[in-house]
Chains A and B, each alone.
Chain A
Amino acid sequence: MSLKVLVADDEPNIVVSLEFMMKREGYEVLVARDGRQALEAIRRERPQLVLLDAMMPGMSGFDVCEAVRADEAVRDTQILMLTAKGRDTDVARGVGVGADAYMTKPFSTRDLMQKVRDMLA
């Protein structure tokens, strides 16, 4: 059975690339367009890894991260935050709310794929 990866981002232009690359890596890819959808998908589909954008309308990536870590059933989900918020205060907050890794946009896809492979290994 293949590993499930959730891509949660409100920008279709990044989702389309991430989805394509994750599929090429052989993962099963789920997509969420905002924070609420992402949380529902995590609870329903139990993905092993979430690529989570910090800035989404409604519920932000930080909120989702907090909710996941507070939820007994899904708290062990791996979370990789991908965000345009690059200030060190933002990174600190991302790690603080429980992200396993934090990558600031723009990032090299090679680094991203390597990181995903490491986290799922």
Chain B
Amino acid sequence: MKFDRRLVLVMLAPGAALAAWLALGGVLFRMTLDPAQRAGVDAAIGPLVASHGVLPVAWWLIAAALAAWAAGRLYAAHVAAPARLADATRVLIGDVAAPDLVPHGGAAARNLAVAINGLAGARRALQDDMARLVAAASRGVAEQRDQLGALMAELNQSVVVCNLDGRILLYNERARQLFRRLSRAPQGAGGAELIGLGRSIYGVFDRALIAHALETVERRIARGDDAATASARFVTGMPAGHLLRVSMAPVRPAASDGSAPTGFVLLLDDITGEYEVQSRRDRQLLELTEASRASFANMQAALDVLDYPDLEAEERDRFQKVVREEVSAMSARLAALAAGMSQDLMTRWPLQEMLGGDLVAAVATRIEADTGQRVTPDEVDGTLWLSVDSFALIQALAFLASRLEPFDRADLRIRLTQAGNRAHLDLIWAAEDARPETLTGWQTGAMQVGDVLSPLSVRDVAERHGGEVWFEHDRARSLSFFRFLLPLATGEPAAAVTHKDSRPEYYDFDLFAASEGSRALDERLLGDIAYTVFDTETTGLHPAHGDEIIQIGATRIVNGKVLRGECFDQLVDPQRSIPEASIPIHGIRPAMVRGKPTIAEVMPAFRTFASDTVLVGHNVAFDMRFLKLKEVVSGVRFDQPVLDTLLLSSVVHPNEASHDLEAIAARLGVTISGRHTAVGDALATAEVFLKLLPLLREQGILTLGQAREAAQKSYYSRLRY
């Protein structure tokens, strides 16, 4: 039991007061007496003090004890109970989940406790409601974001969304592919050095260009254009020679008119190919016009000469020959132009590239679903890449199949073969003789499948592909078929969108709120900084004695998340042998680095990848030594701040013996996969680093400056050790 000093004081006080009061009474009584009386009283009482003195003292003690008891009761009821009540209430204020107050003390205090419990209950209910609402709202927001992310991923156009600082908040797979093509860095960066969450778009586009486009939009709005739809367009050349058409629309906070934009959306089109086609067409047209003019002039002049009545036979022959030559030259020119034209026509309607096998499977599924007829593949070259409007084409085939249904064509088959630079797609059925009259109107009539009436005819669909469609009868095999002549995809099919195990992070709207901030980097919070976490594999441990980097792997951390979708993974040709003994460590054999870029080519790309970030590595001093030695040959310096997970771990767990990556990862519950590939180690280090941040916060290490200082100290302490 706790010793309560105030309770003791409260209990002793009445006895002390009573004693003082009695003593004061005695003194006052004596003072009223003259000396003779005083002497008389002293003589009368003096002998009694020894014999009866104990009586008044005992009397006083009883009174003091009674008073102490009463004071104790009063204290408990009116001081201690309210104080406990106040403490318990304070706990309740701090913690909603704290238990209810237990009523104590007097009736008033008890009533007070009950009232407070009521209040706390009401607050708890309110809080629960709020939590439910917030959870529902954030679930809604998260769903919308995911839907938006999914939508963006499927878009055929490249989309990039930035905040006003030009930091990228969102981009889609198309944009990633586009920047992969634009990238001039070695393969390993894969365009991630140009586009990435939190990266600046001004690394790609001139800041003035974007500013100009924003001003254009503002001017349009000032002129009275609808603020919701106003956008600006510009075309810009890229260093690698690509031509981009950019559509820009500002992002404004919803439901606020005329407010300043908070960011902007860029729609990007690589019009390099389109532009080439366009200018080729223009050139062809001009050439044709001029050549025709010359030809017609030659013919006209020759014909005019032929009108002279007195021409010699020999001269007549000569001028007739001119006309004949010009006519055949014109024909040849037109033939050449027509051959080029039909290729161009195909590019008008947006066709997508599709694998033949996929198309045949989709057609079969659709026909079976619509008509219930089984469709078997005949001769199918599934490896052909076609350039098709698959929806319209499948619709056309389903329509034809449904037209055939009344004739009970049980055995429908599909054939896909290559024919020169086109493909034949045939819908085949067994038939003794051709009866095209039963199929009148199938080519040009509007297609109807079930209740759905399409505005297109089968012929429209064929023409949309720059192809043809016809009916053919193979008497020898007793087969009839509809044949579509379709264009093959030219060039390499665009890489299909790959869905990796973890969906790549392509958006982070929290960056909308992020701003550069005027604070120096050292004063920024660790959680607000963008990091490049990297690792290198090397031929050995001694850069000064000729060891070289053979692999650089890196990932980025933006807004406290590891961006697994934006990795840098590059093998490097060390231009020397790789010691046999080191191969089991990194698993990189000489054949793997042959023909890879050299460190002088890779470092600039890595510098771009790591621009505007703080570098993080495990035992990073080792990697930095290699990079430092290559500064001259690559012309690239890494002068940004550097953090070391090894040192930070020793700050957090000073008493642990081991701070190697495996040990830390195990301590912090991080699972490592792909250990000892540079990018695998970089990812593990990134996860470890993120786990270290809250532990550093507990030690009051909040900013980059504090982290660097703490690491420094730990470093020195280790040295002394």
Q: Are A13 and B304 in contact (CB under 8 A)?
A: no
Cα distance A55–B302 when bound, in Å?
A: 20
Residue of B nearest to A107 (CB): B297
Residue of B nearest to A86 (CB): B293
Given A17-B304, A21-B304, A109-B301, 9 new contacts (CB under 8 A): A13-B302, A13-B325, A16-B322, A20-B319, A24-B308, A84-B289, A84-B290, A106-B293, A108-B300
For the complex, is B294 an interface residue (Cβ under 8 Å from A)?
A: yes
Residue of B nearest to A85 (CB): B290
Given A17-B302, A17-B305, A17-B319, A105–B289 Cβ distance below 8 Å?
no
Given A55-B290, A84-B290, A85-B290, A20–B296 Cβ distance below 8 Å?
no
Most buried by B among A16, A17, A105: A17
Interface residues of B in 307-329 (CB under 8 A from A): 308, 315, 318-319, 322, 325-326
- Which B residues touch A110, using CB under 8 A? 304
A105 to chain B, nearest CB (A): 3
Residue of B nearest to A14 (CB): B298
For the complex, is B291 an interface residue (Cβ under 8 Å from A)?
A: yes
- Can you list 5 A-B pairs, Cβ within 8 angstroms, ordered by A? A17-B301, A20-B305, A20-B315, A21-B304, A109-B305
Cα distance A106–B301 when bound, in Å?
A: 9
A19 to chain B, nearest CB (A): 10
Cα distance A17–B303 when bound, in Å?
A: 9
Chain A residues in the interface with B (C-beta under 8 A): 11, 13-14, 16-18, 20-21, 24, 55, 82, 84-86, 104-110
Cα distance A84–B292 when bound, in Å?
A: 8
Cα distance A90–B297 when bound, in Å?
A: 17
Q: Are B322 and A82 in contact (CB under 8 A)?
A: no
Q: How many residues of B contact A (CB 8 A)?
A: 22
Q: Are A13 and B322 in contact (CB under 8 A)?
A: yes
Q: How many residue pairs bridge A and B at CB < 8 Å?
A: 63
Most buried by B among A18, A84, A107: A84
- Which A residues touch B299, using CB under 8 A? 106
Q: Are A109 and B289 in contact (CB under 8 A)?
A: no
- Which A residues touch B302, using CB under 8 A? 13, 16-17
Residue of B nearest to A103 (CB): B297
Cα distance A109–B305 when bound, in Å?
A: 9
- Which B residues touch A24, using CB under 8 A? 308
Q: Are B308 and A14 in contact (CB under 8 A)?
A: no
Q: Are A84 and B305 in contact (CB under 8 A)?
A: no
Cα distance A16–B302 when bound, in Å?
A: 8
Cα distance A34–B294 when bound, in Å?
A: 16
- Which B residues touch A106, using CB under 8 A? 293, 296-297, 299-300
- Which A residues touch B326, using CB under 8 A? 13
- Which A residues touch B325, using CB under 8 A? 13
- Which A residues touch B315, using CB under 8 A? 20
Cα distance A38–B291 when bound, in Å?
A: 22
Cα distance A18–B304 when bound, in Å?
A: 10
Cα distance A84–B304 when bound, in Å?
A: 18
A42 to chain B, nearest CB (A): 22
- Which A residues touch B291, using CB under 8 A? 84
